[in-house]
């Protein structure tokens, strides 16, 4: 499979999709011309309607991909979402609210279609919620459950869970749980699953069953019964499969 799973779209002081642009270009190279965009997670970019938010989202992403030499077209304009996935050269799944993204993917019956296409070699890119969507479930998202999807099951392109935007920090005066504690809650009832804490400005890239960490930071590995530990860029992640 060909996967590019990005923790976040924007760093403070940078343009939208600024930091991962070179990775996106290197990932796609000249293998595709058009990329099917799935904007369903973008629910709050407009004051008028969710569909208008998707229009705004599409324009925002299209401007970046055009600069890289690719055309973006959004699935929400397609009359048949399943057919659109089947005909896609590559897919990009944007960030936002993971629950709404999963709700729409189930509603449009495209989860199994995406998985089937990716398993034949189609390139899949996702950032934030789009990275969560590649996991077996969306249970390690950071997002508020603003809508109830038919299932928490996601596309299942990888056998482990990602927690994007992972933070180690515990702000002064904050009495709630840390991100690590939340992940440990998940592991208490999902004991056979690895969770990858993917820090911002970091991504996972997979080609031909080899997965690599790229970007600026190490990632953090969580597994029930084990002390969390760091994996640095260049170290093997084969144990996740």
Residue 175 pLDDT: 67
Crossing angle (nearest 10°) for helices 111-119 and 98-107: 90
The β-bridge partners of 198 are 164
Residues of the chain with pLDDT under 50: none
> Domain of 127: which CATH number?
3.40.50.880
The boundaries of the domain holding residue 135 are 2-240
* Number of domains comprising the chain: 1
To the question of pTM greater than 0.75 for the whole model, the response is: yes
pLDDT digits (tens, 9 = 90+) for 98-138: 999 999 999 999 999 999 999 999 999 999 999 999 999 99
Beta strand segments in the chain, E = 2-6, 34-38, 71-74, 90-93, 123-127, 161-164, 195-198, 202-207, 210-215, 219-222, 229-231
Residue 70 pLDDT: 97
Catalytic residues: 128, 143, 165
Average pLDDT, the chain: 95
DSSP 165-200: T------TT--S--HHHHHHHHHHH-TT--EEEE-T
């Amino acid at each position: 499979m060909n996967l590019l799973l990005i923790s976040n779209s924007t760093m403070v002081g940078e343009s939208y999709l600024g930091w991962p642009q070179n990775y996106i270009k290197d990932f796609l190279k000249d293998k595709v011309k058009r990329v099917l965009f799935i904007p369903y997670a973008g629910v709050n970019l407009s004051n008028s309607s969710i569909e208008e938010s998707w229009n705004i989202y599409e324009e925002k992403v299209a401007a970046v991909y055009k600069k890289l030499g690719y055309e973006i077209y959004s699935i929400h304009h397609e009359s048949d979402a399943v057919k659109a996935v089947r005909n896609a050269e590559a897919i990009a799944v944007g960030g936002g609210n993971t629950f709404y993204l999963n709700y729409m993917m189930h509603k449009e019956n495209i989860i199994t279609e995406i998985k089937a296409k990716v398993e034949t070699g189609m390139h899949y890119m996702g950032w934030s919620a789009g990275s969560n969507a590649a996991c077996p479930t969306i249970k390690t998202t950071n997002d508020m459950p603003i809508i109830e999807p038919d299932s928490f099951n996601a596309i299942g392109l990888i056998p482990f869970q990602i927690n994007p935007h992972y933070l180690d920090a515990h702000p002064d005066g904050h009495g709630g749980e840390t991100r690590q504690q939340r992940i440990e809650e998940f592991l208490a009832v999902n004991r056979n699953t690895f969770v990858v804490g993917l820090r911002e400005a970091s991504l996972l890239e997979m080609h031909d069953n080899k997965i690599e960490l790229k970007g600026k930071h190490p990632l953090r590995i969580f597994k029930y019964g084990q002390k969390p530990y760091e994996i640095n860029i260049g170290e093997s992640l084969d144990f996740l499969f």
